[in-house]
Amino acid sequence: MLVFGIDPGLTRCGVGLVRGSPGRAEFVDAGVIRTPTDLPVARRLLLLETALEDWLEKTQPEAVAVEQVFAQHNLMTVVGVAQAAGVALLVAARHGLPVASYTPSAVKAAITGSGRADKAQVGTMVCRVLRLEAAPRPADAADAVALAICHLWRGGAEARLAAAAPAVRPASWGRVVAQSKAGR
């Protein structure tokens, strides 16, 4: 299974591709999508969407893993990160891909055995698991790779079940009610 990990952000959005199965993982690619800080947020979200679409088109992953956004953390940046994560989830859903979200501590625990492991320990284990001499850079790319590994270790079974479900189109994903009320 090819897993596409996304560490969402507007200024830097890490992406990482890992192929494998629980207990076995191979590094495929990683990178960072950047959008200019001087553009309006709406345009930055559109640039992010376009770049994520390009990655999905080129790499054709079978599952997507996105870092979960917590309201408790980084109050100053949580809105931008949540919006970037929303675009990542949207693009994955549009491609009909199963999506899983993991907290940073879940990723650390999956890779090192401890949810409180530091960055260096996670980096060391990512290198060991993927048989790399150095962790992917920059840090956002490495975090996205770690997310993809976490999904292989933890989420593989659920993702395969979801992928085996019949493909559905937006129209059949439940009811959307767009009520029109003139209020008079």
For its own copies, the closer of residues 24 and 173 by Cβ is 173
In the complex, the residues that contact its own copies under the rule CB under 8 A are 15, 27, 29-36, 38-43, 45-47, 49-51, 54-55, 69-72, 75-76, 78-79, 82-87, 89-90, 92-94, 99, 101, 132-138, 141-142, 170-171, 173-184
Min dist CB 92 to its own copies, Å, is 6
Min dist CB 13 to its own copies, Å, is 9
Q: What is the dihedral of CA 157, 147, 149, 133, to 10 degrees?
A: 180
Min dist CB 117 to its own copies, Å, is 19
For its own copies, the closer of residues 114 and 168 by Cβ is 168
Token pair of 4, please?
Answer: 């596409």
DSSP 68-126: PP-TTS-TTTHHHHHHHHHHHHHHHHHTT--EEEE-HHHHHHHHHS-TT--HHHHHHHH
CB atoms within 10 A of CB 5: 31
Min dist CB 36 to its own copies, Å, is 4
Active site residues: 7, 67, 140
Query: In the block, which residue shows the tokens 């200019």?
Result: 36
For β-strands 2-7 and 63-67, DSSP reports them as parallel
Query: In the block, which residue shows the tokens 């996304």?
Result: 6
Is 28 within 8 Å of 18 (Cβ atoms)? yes
